[in-house]
Amino acid sequence: MAGLFQRAIDRAGAEVAFTIDGEPVRAQEGDLLITAILLHRAALRRFEFGTGFRAGFCLMAACQDCWVRLADGRRLRACSTLVEPGMAVIIEGGGPG
């Protein structure tokens, strides 16, 4: 799947394995969850008031648009949470693209 984000600059950091809708993906240590998800997907989550998807809005923890759900039931702000090994992100329906 094509991601919404692309890395502009390579940087050092160990790989971090996590899943999106059960699909194994990788990020770099130090990546925010929003970056890690949007490198692989075109959206963070489904829009709760319609049929569309959301990809975050302000990207700086001010707008509340980047909440994501993990398989263990936690809800996290993707723009202010570092990706951790083994995280299991759920995007209902797999997200677009």
pLDDT tens readout for residues 16-42: 999 999 999 999 999 999 999 999 988
Closest by CA to 32, choosing from 65, 95, 77, 71, is: 77
The structure's pTM equals 0.81
pLDDT at 1: 56
User: Looking at residue 96, what is its pLDDT?
Assistant: 44
> CA 97, CA 95: separation in Å to the nearest integer?
7
pLDDT of residue 13: 83
pLDDT range class, residue 46, cuts 50, 70, 90: confident
At residue 93, does pLDDT exceed 60?
no
| Architecture of the structural domain at 15-92 | Roll (3.10)
